[in-house]
Structure formats: C-alpha cells, structure tokens
Amino acid sequence: MVDLSELVVGDTISFTSINPTDNVLWQGTITGICSYDIVQNMRDDLVPYYRAVKKILHTMEPIDKLHYFTIRYTQGEKTGRLIMAKEWIEPSSVQRIVLNEYFDIRIYDLPKEDAQTILNLLQSHGFKNALVA
C-alpha cells in the first residue's frame, strides 16, 4: 500500500475514490499538490463531490482545509486534469506506477552472438532491450 503523504509531483498513480458515485479507476501523473485556495477555480464546483464523500466520512475536515492533488489523467482515449483531495482517495487502492525503469542484466562468458540471441528472445516477448558491451 502506498502512503498518500509520500506521493510527490511527477509520481504516476492509479486509485479509486471513496465517493460512492465515482466508480472510475483513475490513472495519471501528479502535477501539483496544493490547497483549496489554489484549486477552487481550476474546474467546476468541488462542493458536490465534497458533499458526496462527507456522507461517508462524517469527520472529514471542511473543504478549505483539505489537501489536493492536481492530476493529468488518461482514461482510454480521454485525457484531462483531475482535482482530487487526498482525503477522497481510497487509501488501499493507491498504486504507484513506475515508468521508464531500467534493469541491468549481465551475461558472462558467452560470445556476442549468444548475447544477441538472448536479446532477441527478450524482444520477442515484448521486452525492450539493448546490448551494451
């Protein structure tokens, strides 16, 4: 499980909301972490969403005391900007998606042709790779 307080700008995440009317599995990149003063005019009224969550989280702070993520999301062919309070996210649903991670695989005591055969096998199974000699 990912701790919401450890997320930073640039992290790509997927999550669901605790809002019972929002059944979307959101996925996107965090572009900002800010207060209500900043996000309140960035999109349509956040109050209805807040009220829907408040029905479940009766002890949730007032809307202007919450902490917000701005997220550049992609849902199929649709992209856009999402404003989501940390408190509205189902904590157990959060996953950090690691993009562009590289692994160093070393092959010893083989001729270069055999190393290329291994790379070809990796590529045939969808793994991008390169030979660094």
Q: Give the residue, 1 or 101, on which the prediction is more confident.
A: 1
Say which residues have a Cβ less than 8 Å from residue 38's Cβ, sequence separation at least 6. 32, 68
Q: Which residue has the tokens 């055969």?
A: 117
Q: What is the pLDDT of residues 4-43, one digit of tens each?
A: 999 999 999 999 999 999 999 999 999 999 999 999 888 7
Q: Quote the pLDDT of residue 100.
A: 66
Domain ranges of the chain: 4-97, 102-133
Mean pLDDT of 47-72: 95
Distances (CA, A) of 100 to 23, 56, 89, 95, 121: 29, 37, 25, 16, 20
pTM of the model: 0.72
Q: Quote the pLDDT of residue 44.
A: 72
According to DSSP, the residues that pair with 85 across neighbouring strands are 68
Please determine, for residue 70, whether its predicted confidence score (pLDDT) is greater than 70.
yes
Distances (CA, A) of 27 to 35, 44, 73, 122: 21, 20, 6, 28
Q: Which of 124, 114, 95, 9 shows the shortest CA–CA distance to 133?
A: 114
Distances (CA, A) of 61 to 32, 36, 54: 21, 12, 9
